[in-house]
Structure 1
Amino acid sequence: MFAVTVLFQIKEGQMDAFMPLMINNAQTSLKTEPGCLQFDVCADPARPREVFLYEIYDDEAAFKMHLTSAHFLTFDAKVADIVASKAVQTFKQVMQ
């Protein structure tokens, strides 16, 4: 198991443009990537410019395949100008 968290800060006034692209990326990942087991998109109204992702993959190789997928590359290019910052963390399972 390989977990990925991402914390996005979205530029002012860009959340309505960002969220449909983010949701589409998550749904496509779950539908088309056999190694993508979970892809949660989370937001808190108290922090209106922040989006948190929680993703689970079979292993690190499955995540690396995600990063090279056509849908991810398209998403990444489309949101480049509307994301203020992005912090990615990865975690490997230490016990089952």
Structure 2
Amino acid sequence: MAQQIKQMVRLAKIQVDPAQLDSYNAALKLQMTTAVKLEPGVLTYYAVADKANPSQITILEIYADTAAYKLHIETPHFKKYKETVQHMVKSLELVDMDLIGAAVKPAG
């Protein structure tokens, strides 16, 4: 559990312009997969959309620590994502969380 305690956990609550939702989702998926592939400190990304309002997106982000997050937001792929979606996002709320537990099935 000591490793989990230093992890940085954040929820990003995003309201996207519904007319640009497909473009936003494509940019988000590219950024997420690139970050997880290239950055050892990016541990988890889950992006979910509200069933009743698909343009309301919540992202669960887990980083190895705060330093990994700070490195992440300086990467070219993250900066490209922010530039690409800046006119698609109507609102953004970032909520830092404390991890109190996790249960994950082992792969395979």
TM score, norm. by length of structure 2 = 0.82
Letter in 2 for 1:26: M
How far did residue 14 of structure 1 move? 1.0
Cα deviation code 1:14-58 (max 9, x no counterpart): 101100000111111100110011011111221121111001111
Distance 1:7 1:32 in 2: 24
Instruction: Name 2:105's counterpart in structure 1.
Output: none
Aligned residues: 95
User: Computing the radius of gyration over CA atoms, which structure comes out larger, 1 or 2?
Assistant: 2
- Alpha-carbon distance change, 94 to 73 in structure 1, aligned in 2, over 3 angstroms: same
Letter in 2 for 1:24: L
The RMSD of aligned alpha carbons is 1.5
Of 47, 59, 64, the residue aligned with 1:53 is: 59
Runs of 4+ with deviation above 4 angstroms: 92-95
Q: Which runs of 5+ in 1 are unaligned?
A: none
Distance 1:54 1:7 in 2: 9
Instruction: Name 2:22's counterpart in structure 1.
Output: 16
How far did residue 89 of structure 1 move? 1.4
Distance 1:53 1:12 in 2: 17
**Could you tell me the percent identity over the aligned residues?**
27
